[in-house]
Structure 1
Amino acid sequence: MARSIKTWGTLTAFIFIIIAALAVFIFYPYHYILTLEQQRSGNLLAYLPLKDNHNFQIKYTHSVHLSEVVEYYQVNGGNIKPIKLVYEDTAIGMPSNAHGDDTFRMEDGKYIIEKSDDTKPFEELNLSVGQVRAEHKVIHNNQTHLLKDYVGAGTNLSIDAKKRSRWQLWKGVNMLE
């Protein structure tokens, strides 16, 4: 009888450890991702797995001049820091020079603004996914993802970098799958 109580206690402890490990595996936020959330509701629509200090780009066609624009960002500590802006026209909606310690140059027919090291990062980016010509894309690890395929054209997004649990990730679409 004493032996069966001891066995039962060992089995109970083992089951408890397995359940605790599963709970940590499912609910602990350890996956670092770039989230694409619906702005008003905060619903996770899609995400890209990434690591700290990883870069990504947002590429689109400017709605007025119909030329390509590429914005470069770096994710660091949950913040998104602008690194560089590359574009073809300085007309409506695009800068004609750099500000502060940023640098401005022209290379291969494109204007380039490189942000200084002192540039403040953003907690999130807000983006309205183009419905007609913009063709907003996220580029990460040499893979291009057309946003309207994942979140729908005309969707207002909040893009940020954070850690999420497996449970939270099941609610969104992994753009790599």
Structure 2
Amino acid sequence: MKRRKRILSLFVLLILLTVLLVPSRTVLVFYERNTDNMEAFLPLQQGDTFQVIFTHSIHLTDVVEKYRVTDDLEIEQYEIIYEEFGIGMPSNAEEGEDFEYKDGKYHISNLNNIFPSMKIRNGKTVSENRLVWESENNENRNMVWFNDYFEPGAWFTIIIERISLWEYLKGVKISE
């Protein structure tokens, strides 16, 4: 009888460890610089979209970069929207992309820029970066300021990953 209880206990422990430690949740992870120190994460699924909005440090207008989570858990940039030409801003669309001026803004769409990860910085001088995403079933649009989660001037590597329940529970979840 004792042997059965031990085997059952071991079995329950293995199941619990598996549930806690096996990566199962897809998230956008913000790693501090080039480390494996997870600063925060945003739960996302394949096909979900998110935006990074920043204020351009020279012409001080918003730039909206739109991204999608690919089936391979990479980051696809599919659109950029901005108001002013200048340093770092494209002046036209590449082959296969669409360039349009509407509502006082330039839109370059049909981008197909795929990134396994991206380096991103929270603005230091002009610290008005925002993260925007749709909630479940794309019904509610959510936005947070980077400064609510990160220090101005901080550098991050962002990547789409699967994390375990344990990492999910101990991490900092970005939420509305």
- Whether the TM-score (by the shorter chain) exceeds 0.5 is yes
2:78 matched residue in structure 1: 83
1:100 matched residue in structure 2: 95
TM-score by length of structure 2 reads: 0.90
Report the alpha carbon displacement of residue 14 of structure 1 after superposing the two structures with TM.
1.5
Identity of counterpart residues, as a percentage?
Answer: 29
1:136 to 108, 118, 129: 129
Asked if the contact 1:33/1:164 (under 8 Å) is kept, the reply is yes
Asked if the contact 1:37/1:43 (under 8 Å) is kept, the reply is yes
1:27 matched residue in structure 2: 21
Residue identity opposite 2:128 in structure 1: E
- For the residue of structure 2 that corresponds to 1:25, the secondary structure is helix
1:13 matched residue in structure 2: 7
Which structure has the greater CA radius of gyration?
1
2:138 matched residue in structure 1: none
2:117 matched residue in structure 1: 124
- In structure 2, C-alpha distance between the alignment counterparts of 1:155 and 1:42, rounded to whole Å: 15
Residue identity opposite 2:5 in structure 1: L
Report the alpha carbon displacement of residue 92 of structure 1 after superposing the two structures with TM.
2.5
Residue identity opposite 1:106 in structure 2: Y
Report the alpha carbon displacement of residue 170 of structure 1 after superposing the two structures with TM.
4.4
RMSD: 1.5
- In structure 2, C-alpha distance between the alignment counterparts of 1:164 and 1:24, rounded to whole Å: 12
Gaps of 5+ in 1: 1-6
Report the alpha carbon displacement of residue 13 of structure 1 after superposing the two structures with TM.
2.1
Question: Once superposed, which parts of structure 1, at least 4 consecutive aligned residues long, lie more than 2 Å away?
Answer: 166-172
Gaps of 5+ in 2: 135-140
- In structure 1, C-alpha distance between the alignment counterparts of 2:12 and 2:91, rounded to whole Å: 60
TM-score by length of structure 1 reads: 0.89
1:72 to 66, 86, 90: 66
